[in-house]
């Protein structure tokens, strides 16, 4: 009955999710992927902090599915299906109830998050993390079958973890934990060779190495390294941080965490605790670190944690209920509470008006640009995630600088790095003045239109060289003065 409840909720939320629009973070990566497809070099021509694997995934969506909202929904649901399948495969030795229930629990968690969680980078990480975990677990369990079978499991486990690192480098921490398990297992079995660890490490390195060679070949490796070492690590990593114990929709995590804890405790008490329990627990540890270290408080940073909690949630339900109902009652109650809270969260999120408002604002902005723009005109957007880059993507417009967002210019303004970024923006605007500038009202992590007051060089150029031609709730559109 509990599995059926999660299944019914997953189907309901999937149906409600079909109209979800492409908006928020996804259009930013779509825009970068589109520009790369047109010949732009990431990091050199597009200033962004994400790993290159994200761009290639979005480029594949654009190439094979297209730019529509429906294509994005299809990709998100496909990624969810892959994650659900691997969750079930990890939990399969614990019984069909555990496999199906855990997979459905993760599906409900994702779909209950709403449209802004669709295709988020940390969500796309999850199938690859699970492949890495599954491969190491199978290697441990199948070592008796021969070294070739074990090496194959380690190889595709490493490839999965390498793909995860290419999407989010934080996954290297989980890759290291799995590598430690491989080394410890081989040592306990008396394997004096380093071959298992080398096979796994080679798999982990393969995808990132291929991307490094690609970036080097097209001229993006140096700019990427400069962004990482001079801006991402010392400055961006500290920007917009929240308290480490701040968890969005924390109520949902109480029954989910309790169900996982009861399952692990029961497995240990009844001596059913095995390699998959250990690896899932390591995944939980990594998931906590993945959220806390990033420190932004964004809900999608919880995905790796949700993945491995979901793996464990149903692990002991069937054996506990089979032995004695009273032993399984707390676990069943926790799962029922998680189901109810996810249902409430999902119904609310599926019809969130703010998502449609943001998507509509992007379309209005794209229209305002398109009706005025001539072939070859460029548009500089001063925004982060309020819809400016989305509008550029919809209008098929390019920016004259490499800066997609404007928040780089309004924090740590006394540092040489930000001063250099400001100087680069002004230099490029002077060298290739755009016909239009779109200034969005809401800045990130704070600020409104008045943020330009802290950047007088930019404010002066807009005031003297551009005229306001359209003001809407949320943004102002400027055009060059005396432009025929």
pLDDT for the residue numbered 323: 74
Question: Residue 445: is the preceding peptide bond cis (ω within 30°)?
Answer: yes
DSSP secondary structure letters along 163-210: HHHHH-GGGHHHHHHHHHHHHHHHHHTT--SSHHHHHHHHHHHHHHHH
Cα(137)–Cα(139) distance, integer angstroms:
5
Q: Cα separations (Å) of 460 from 7, 240, 344, 396, 457?
A: 58, 28, 49, 28, 5
Q: What is the DSSP letter of 41?
A: P
- Furthest CA-CA distance within the chain: 83
**What is the H or E stretch that residue 472 is in?**
strand 466-472
Cα(20)–Cα(361) distance, integer angstroms:
15
Strand 436-440's sheet: what is its strand order? 379-382, 436-440, 475-480, 466-472
Helix (H, G, I), strand (E, B) or coil at 333: helix
Question: What's the gap between Cα 73 and its chain centre?
Answer: 15
Q: What is the DSSP letter of 232?
A: I
- Residue whose entry in the numeric block shows the structure tokens 């009706």: 371
pLDDT for the residue numbered 309: 98
Cα distance from N-terminal residue to C-terminal residue, the chain: 70
pLDDT for the residue numbered 149: 55
* Residue pLDDT tens, the chain, 484 long: 999 999 999 999 999 999 999 999 999 999 999 999 999 999 999 999 999 999 999 999 999 999 999 999 999 999 999 999 999 999 999 999 999 999 999 999 999 999 989 999 999 999 999 999 999 999 998 875 555 556 789 999 999 999 999 999 999 999 999 999 999 988 887 776 688 899 999 999 999 999 999 999 999 999 999 999 999 999 999 998 776 667 777 889 999 999 999 999 999 998 999 999 999 999 999 999 999 999 888 899 999 999 999 999 999 998 888 876 667 889 999 999 999 999 999 998 888 788 899 999 999 999 999 999 999 999 999 999 999 999 999 999 999 999 999 999 999 999 999 999 999 999 999 999 999 999 999 999 889 999 999 999 999 999 999 999 999 999 999 999 986 6
Residues ≥6 apart with Cβ < 8 Å to 360: none
Closest CA to 112 of 3, 236, 215, 248: 248
Crossing angle (nearest 10°) for helices 69-91 and 121-141? 30
Query: For the purposes of burial, counting CB atoms within 10 Å of the CB of 202, is it exposed (0-12), middle (13-18) or buried (19 or more)?
Result: middle
Closest CA to 54 of 203, 205, 216, 163: 163
Hey, what are 302's tokens?
């919880």
Q: Cα separations (Å) of 378 from 36, 251, 366, 452?
A: 17, 46, 13, 21
Hey, what are 374's tokens?
């001539």
Q: What is the DSSP letter of 231?
A: I
Hey, what are 322's tokens?
């089979």
**pTM of the complete model:** 0.94
pLDDT for the residue numbered 26: 95
> What's the chain's length in residues?
484
Hey, what are 288's tokens?
């906590």
Strand pairing class (466-472; 475-480): antiparallel
Cα(318)–Cα(311) distance, integer angstroms:
14
Cβ 429 vs Cβ 401: under 8 Å: yes
pLDDT for the residue numbered 144: 57
Strand pairing class (436-440; 379-382): parallel
Query: For the purposes of burial, counting CB atoms within 10 Å of the CB of 318, is it exposed (0-12), middle (13-18) or buried (19 or more)?
Result: middle
The region that residue 84 occupies, defined by phi over 0 for left and psi between -120 and 50 for alpha, beta otherwise, is alpha
């Amino acid at each position: 009955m509990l599995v059926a409840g999660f299944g019914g909720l997953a189907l309901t939320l999937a149906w409600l999710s079909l109209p979800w629009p492409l908006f928020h973070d996804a259009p930013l990566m779509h825009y970068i992927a589109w520009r790369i497809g047109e010949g732009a070099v990431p990091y050199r021509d597009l200033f962004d902090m994400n790993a290159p694997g994200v761009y290639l995934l979005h480029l594949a969506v654009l190439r094979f599915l297209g730019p529509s909202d429906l294509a994005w929904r299809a990709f998100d649901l496909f990624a969810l299906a892959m994650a659900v399948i691997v969750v079930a495969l990890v939990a399969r030795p614990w019984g069909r109830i555990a496999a199906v229930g855990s997979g459905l629990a993760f599906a409900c968690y994702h779909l209950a998050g709403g449209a802004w969680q669709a295709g988020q980078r940390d969500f796309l990480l999850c199938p690859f993390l699970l492949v890495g975990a599954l491969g190491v677990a199978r290697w441990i369990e199948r070592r008796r079958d021969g070294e070739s079978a074990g090496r194959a499991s380690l190889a595709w486990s490493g490839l999965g973890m390498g793909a995860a690192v290419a999407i989010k480098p934080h996954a290297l921490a989980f890759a290291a934990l799995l590598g430690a398990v491989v080394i410890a297992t081989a040592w306990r079995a008396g394997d004096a060779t380093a071959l298992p660890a080398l096979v796994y490490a080679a798999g982990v390195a393969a995808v990132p190495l291929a991307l490094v060679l690609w970036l080097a070949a097209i001229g993006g490796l140096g700019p990427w390294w400069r962004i990482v070492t001079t801006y991402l690590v010392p400055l961006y990593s500290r920007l917009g941080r929240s308290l480490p114990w701040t968890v969005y929709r924390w109520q949902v995590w109480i029954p989910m965490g309790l169900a996982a804890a009861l399952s692990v405790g029961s497995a240990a008490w009844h001596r059913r605790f095995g390699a998959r329990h250990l690896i899932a627990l390591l995944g939980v540890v990594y998931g906590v670190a993945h959220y806390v270290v990033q420190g932004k408080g964004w809900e999608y940073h919880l995905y790796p944690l949700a993945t491995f909690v979901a793996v464990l949630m149903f692990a002991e339900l069937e054996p506990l209920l089979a032995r004695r109902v009273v032993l399984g009652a707390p676990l069943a109650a926790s799962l029922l509470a998680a189901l109810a809270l996810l249902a409430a969260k999902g119904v609310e999120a599926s019809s969130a008006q703010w998502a449609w408002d943001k998507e509509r604002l992007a379309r209005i902005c794209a229209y305002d640009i398109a009706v005025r723009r001539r072939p070859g005109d460029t548009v500089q957007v001063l925004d982060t995630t309020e819809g400016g880059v989305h509008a550029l993507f919809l209008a098929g417009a390019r920016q004259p600088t490499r800066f997609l967002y404007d928040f780089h210019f309004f924090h740590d303004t006394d540092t040489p790095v930000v001063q250099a970024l400001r100087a680069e923006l002004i230099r490029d605007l002077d060298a290739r003045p755009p016909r239009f500038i779109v200034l969005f009202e809401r800045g990130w992590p704070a600020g409104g239109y008045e943020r330009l007051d802290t950047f007088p060089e930019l404010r002066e150029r807009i005031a003297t060289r551009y005229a306001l031609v359209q003001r809407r709730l949320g943004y102002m559109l400027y055009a060059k003065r005396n432009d025929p």
